[in-house]
Amino acid sequence: MTQDIEAVPEFADLGLRDEVAKAIRDAGYTRPTPIQAQAIPHILAKQDLLGIAQTGTGKTAAFVLPMIHQLASGRARARMPRSIILSPTRELAAQTADNFEKYGKYVKLTMALIIGGVGMGDQEKLLDRGVDVLIATPGRLLDWFERGKILLGGVSIFVIDEADRMLDMGFIPDVEKIAGLLTRREQTLLFSATMPKEVRRLAERFLTDPVEVAVSPPATTVANIESVLCRMAPTRKMDAVEALIRQHEVAKAIVFCNRKRDVGTVTRKLQKKGYNARDIHGDLDQSQRQATLDAFKAGEVDYLIATDVAARGLDISDMPVVINLDVPTHADDYVHRIGRTGRAGKKGRAFTFATDDDDKRLAKVEKLIGGPIALFDPFQSKPHVPEGNEVLETAAAPAAVAETAGEAGVGAEAEAAAEAEPAPASRGRRRRRSKAEAPAPVEAPLPAIRQDRPPSLTRTEARAEAERAARAQTERGDRRGARPGRDDRRGDGPVIGMGDHVPSFLLREVPIRALARADED
């Protein structure tokens, strides 16, 4: 069954324990977001639940708050956690743990965070004493179970968070194995921003008569985020980042790259320009990643350069700008990347850089969000919309009530990024923007040509030159008594296989005496 969005009540109306309500008030919240208002009553009633909610809607608190309420009574036994929350990434798991600490401070619950990249000693001590809440990534949880460090017979509440991300990262088989081991679970909660068929099948297999709560169309962009598209040559991307920082007063931002090697390159270039930038990606150990995130949240780092490891689960209320240096490989990741901005009811801006090679991926993104992204020239002070180009505002998500908890909901609708031209009745395939329509690119100056370098030869000229050198070498060898068999070893003629020219140093003449000495060695 699917719940319709109703008037959002106050937290006091949801029936949460006084200790939980007090922690919510201490955090400064009075009203829940739509996903919290709809999910919490069903979770308190111990029903299985399928929650469809995009990032930034308060999804984490939607299951953390009722879990604290339910687990407040009862006691954990050694190595037998009472509840398990599976997260796809270490960062999301750590954020979930932060939520439990924030809202469970007046309830005596024990919690363990089982993730890779951190020492196992302290975690093992906690498990030996018994924990009420175990937050883990799938691989590390299975590792501990197979070592006999965790017993799963006492788990009553099982939460699968960011199920679509689990699918993208190849964790669904691990999730299915873990779910199969939890034979005594009484309640299963599954949350996902999108609902691909594999996730739907997972829900149908492991959830019993679930209540389905959807607060917004899957994978739509948040209404208070101004999203724009910046067309440019690949060589201009770094210049565009600097132009945004200087001309558009981007004092703080997350810059997303598709590849880890690009993350390091961008970070080094920004640092050389004097910008306070730091990188985060999957090759760093957990302590480095957490230290970088903590420094970024504390304002000690201005620009975080990241792969999609930071696209989900990074909850920073004051994040004004997101820059996609590359169009994401998966369209869903676009929504999660830009969802890092426009949080807590604040406005946000998302810039996406695209080249001509990105047309297919860009078409998938625009199909997912329901329309094309407005064009913007980062080298100009105002948005540039070519004449005749169709521009559509990003799809709006339901507005949330102010003063929301956890990952805050969306606020008022954003102003249009640019005035839109009327869209044609039938768009058909994505129209390739012509050079006349696109903003004029600013080409980087070409490097000066060294005059002392010998000119390159064409393929024909190189072959002729090589043959001439070979003949001259043979003639000198005959005159100097070269040993027989040398030409057989070297081949019948020159081999040219280095493109359109042969470097001149390969064509220089080598004295036959040197070749003879090489053979003797």
Give residue-wise pLDDT tens across range 442-482.
333 333 333 333 344 444 555 566 666 666 655 555 544 44
* Span(s) in the chain for CATH 3.40.50.300: 2-214, 225-375
> Helix, strand, coil proportions of the chain in percent (round to 5)?
40, 15, 50
The answer to whether 356 touches 235, Cβ cutoff 8 Å, is no
Q: How far is CA 305 from CA 248, 278, 281, in A?
A: 18, 6, 9
374 pLDDT exceeds 80? yes
121-130, 164-173, 177-186, 192-201: the lowest-pLDDT one: 121-130
| Topology at the third CATH level for domain 2-214 | Rossmann fold (3.40.50)
User: H or E segment at 63?
Assistant: helix 59-71
Q: pLDDT class for 76, splitting at 50, 70, 90?
A: confident
- The strand ranges marked E within 366-440 are 374-375
pLDDT by residue (tens digit) across 263-320? Answer: 999 999 999 999 999 998 877 777 788 788 889 988 899 999 998 876 555 667 678 8
Q: What is the mean pLDDT of residues 345-356?
A: 88
- Transcribe 336-386 into DSSP letters: HHHTTSS-TT--EEEEEEE-GGGHHHHHHHHHHHTSPPEE--TTSSS----
Q: Could you give the CA distance from residue 391 to residue 26 in angstroms, rounded to a whole number?
A: 43
Distance (Å, rounded) from C-alpha 417 to C-alpha 188? Answer: 41
Query: Would the pLDDT of 400 be above 80?
Result: no
What kind of fold does domain 225-375 have according to CATH?
Answer: Rossmann fold (3.40.50)
**Nearest C-alpha neighbor of 280 from the set 270, 293, 269, 268:** 293
d(CA 311, CA 341): 11
Distance separating alpha carbons of residues 332 and 257, to the nearest angstrom: 15
Tell me the pLDDT tens digit for each residue of 231-258. 999 999 999 999 999 888 899 999 999 9
What's the pLDDT at 390? Answer: 33
Task: Report the pLDDT value the prediction gives residue 291, as an integer from 0 to 100.
Answer: 86
Q: How many residues does the chain have?
A: 521
Amino acid at 118: V
Phi-psi region of 406 (alpha: psi -120 to 50; beta: other; left: phi over 0): left
Higher pLDDT, 301 or 339: 301
Averaged over 63-92, what is the pLDDT?
A: 92
Average pLDDT for 35-43: 95
CA dihedral angle for residue 99, residue 103, residue 105, residue 111, rounded to 10 degrees: -40
Identify the weakest region by mean pLDDT among 70-84, 275-289, 479-493: 479-493
What is the token pair recorded at 176?
A: 């299915």
Q: Is 233 helix (H, G, I), strand (E, B) or coil?
A: coil
From first CA to last CA, the distance across the chain in angstroms is 83
pTM of the model: 0.57
Average pLDDT (484-500) is 43
Which strands make up the sheet holding 187-192, listed edge to edge?
2-3, 211-214, 49-52, 187-192, 157-160, 83-86, 133-136, 111-114
Comparing 501 with 103, the larger pLDDT belongs to 103
HSE at residue 426, side-chain half, CA atoms within 13 A, is 1
Residue 287's pLDDT is 78
Mean pLDDT of the chain: 76
Sign of CA dihedral 508, 512, 515, 517: negative
When comparing pLDDT for 36 and 346, which is higher?
A: 36
Is pLDDT at 393 greater than 70 in this prediction?
Answer: no
